[in-house]
Amino acid sequence: MALLQISEPGASPQPHQRRVVVGIDLGTTHSLVAAVRSGVAECLPAEDGRVLLPSVVRYGAGTQRAIGWKALETPENSALAASNTIASVKRLMGRGLADVANASLLPYALVDQGGMVMVQTQQGLKSPVEVSAEILATLRQRAEDSFNDDLFGAVITVPAYFDDAQRQATKDAAQLAGINVLRLINEPTAAAIAYGLDNAAEGVYAVYDLGGGTFDISILRLSQGVFEVLAAGGDSALGGDDYDHALAAWALQKLGKTADTSAQKTAAKNAARQCKEALSGLSNATQSIAIHAHPEWVFGPLEVKIADFEAATAALTARTMSAVRKALRDAQLDKVDVKGVVMVGGSTRMPQVRRAVANFFGSEPLVNLNPDEVVALGAAIQANQLAGNNPGNDLLLLDVIPLSLGLETMGGLVERIVPRNQTIPTAMAQDFTTYQDGQTALALHVVQGERDLVADCRSLARFELRGIPPMAAGAARIRVTFTVDADGLLSVAAKEQGSGVEAHISVKPSYGLSDEQIAKMLQDSFSTAAQDMAARALAEAKLDADRMLMATQSALAVDGDLLSEAERTTLAQLMQTLHNTAAASHDPAQIEAASKALANGTEAFAAARMNHSIRQALAGRTLESL
């Protein structure tokens, strides 16, 4: 009789085998990857032990590129590198050139191509999706190295205020990086998952998320494993970067200087950021920090007090609090109803931000979790559940869409079908009719936003319903259904109820990438795949060589007297050859050959050491005692 392996719905069919899944926080300034190991969510470190990966990509000559910390290293040609070092690309995701605020402050050039913003580099035009894919691929590799296994999938976080185009661009970037997206979830919701499960919190909480490039505020109700988002708001073009720019502008004005070139803009922003971080560690408003950068004609030195920094950025902090008040109104709650405020994002370390939140809610915000890591940790917990790795710990996540979805009607007006802050996944429908006698087709224009005029909202897609039987105006009944999935992505269907004629579109925003574009980018990525594999093989070969040299050196230090002078000379020559080859060669095969030669050369030594150890262990022992 055959036995069948059965499992609970959503659980792994082989309970002893866990799927490798992670949570990824794709941030404006830094990105992280986290996973649940031994029942605990933790951020995965790189080889150097650091968990934070700067969200920066520098494009060099040919196909060379540096990602993360390496991209921040100062190269020989710093002026050229500044214009090819792409940071804060998250602010460009799903945007057109007209949508990008303060584009002139960026050290790299932006170009409009078919309604989508592109970045000019010495390797040609790069889309924000491509740049983000480089960062995601690095995190995917880190995860696979950590588990020594292929990645099954990932939960990727996005700002709560990301619209459909920005979410689709994020999903495109993950696909380009070879990552299976289990779900996109809002960053504040991910933070609430991590905080709620760690602290067994219940009640209404506000999540104040101020990152490097985006600000989100979410009002959530936590109750017995149910995370219900009551309202979400914020500003996808407000973050720590703007505090840096504001402080840099203030300092330049005080000094009577300007930053015109890419190198000058980068130096000014970096100096301002360093000053901001130093000031955030002070407690007295009269204390000051010297702000300066090279070259001297760009910045300072200039003494900056905490009060100066707060005055220069007061308008930005006020914008965040305005969004907080709006989110509370949307949730139909008063600030006294909020049990606590969870602070998320590295920018919440600024004292003026924490003080503004404390003054508004009348209590100190909750800062007991690392604001840089909490989003990734929450995403990892959600990924672990979606993969069926922990079916006993049920978690129900009720997220919302940030902006209303609707159709253009006559006169350029918007008819909202799905209101903002609607819980997802959801499907909502509304009936429409024809405008003219004998009309056999209907053009549908899908938009997103809160304004009443189409011109003030974001265009998402256009499609047509054809084959409507000729009727008098107003006689046809056309039902349009909007379906929003758990990722917050939209599909729209239109059906004439009488004839059954229908049309359907999975909304692919004009600011996203078409399937053909993604396919081409995947094909293009093959050209650098060989380079990446070669670089990885070289690094591994050098690491193996170092280990071999260290092991041999240690053995010689302990048992070198077991060898003759000639044998020691031979081993020394083999070791020197391996050392020189590993230092000079860029061919993994050469290094591996030198390592193998040393391994073969030490076989007799290893046997002699074994025999010596056995003799020592048996010395003075009789056969009977053994």
Which are the catalytic amino acids? 25, 90, 187, 209
- Measure CA 9 to chain center: 30
First to last CA, the chain: 51
Spell out a b/e string for 438-447, using b for 16 or more CB atoms within 10 Å of the CB, else e: ebeebebbbb
Q: What is the 3-state secondary structure (H, E, C) of 230-263?
A: EEEEEECCCCHHHHHHHHHHHHHHHHCCCCCCHH
Q: Which residues contact 105 (CB under 8 A, 6 or more apart)?
A: 245, 265, 269
Alpha helix (H) residue ranges in 9-77: 69-72
Nearest-Å Rg of the Cα atoms of the chain is 30
Question: What whole-number distance in Å separates Cα of residue 24 and Cα of residue 386?
Answer: 14
Question: What whole-number distance in Å separates Cα of residue 159 and Cα of residue 170?
Answer: 11
Alpha helix (H) residue ranges in 331-451: 351-361, 374-386
Nearest CA among 279, 330, 347 for reference residue 309: 279
Residue 443's SS3 state is strand
Distances (CA, A) of 287 to 121, 279, 306, 309, 469: 41, 8, 6, 11, 76
Question: What whole-number distance in Å separates Cα of residue 50 and Cα of residue 568?
Answer: 40
Q: Let me know: does 469 contact 498? Beta carbons within 8 Å.
A: yes
Q: Let me know: does 323 contact 215? Beta carbons within 8 Å.
A: yes
In 316-437, which ranges are E strands? 340-344, 396-400, 405-409, 413-418, 423-424, 426-432
In the numeric block, the tokens 């090819």 are attached to 84
Question: What whole-number distance in Å separates Cα of residue 91 and Cα of residue 112?
Answer: 15
- Strand duo 288-293 + 153-158: pairing: unpaired
In the numeric block, the tokens 């894919």 are attached to 133
Question: What whole-number distance in Å separates Cα of residue 522 and Cα of residue 519?
Answer: 5
Q: What tokens does 363 get? A: 């209590």
Residue 467's SS3 state is coil
Q: Let me know: does 100 contact 90? Beta carbons within 8 Å.
A: no
Question: What whole-number distance in Å separates Cα of residue 289 and Cα of residue 301?
Answer: 10
Q: Let me know: does 473 contact 435? Beta carbons within 8 Å.
A: yes
- Strand duo 56-59 + 85-87: pairing: antiparallel
Question: What whole-number distance in Å separates Cα of residue 606 and Cα of residue 589?
Answer: 25
Q: Let me know: does 327 contact 343? Beta carbons within 8 Å.
A: no
User: Residue 316 belongs to what H/E stretch?
Assistant: helix 306-330
Q: Let me know: does 497 contact 478? Beta carbons within 8 Å.
A: yes
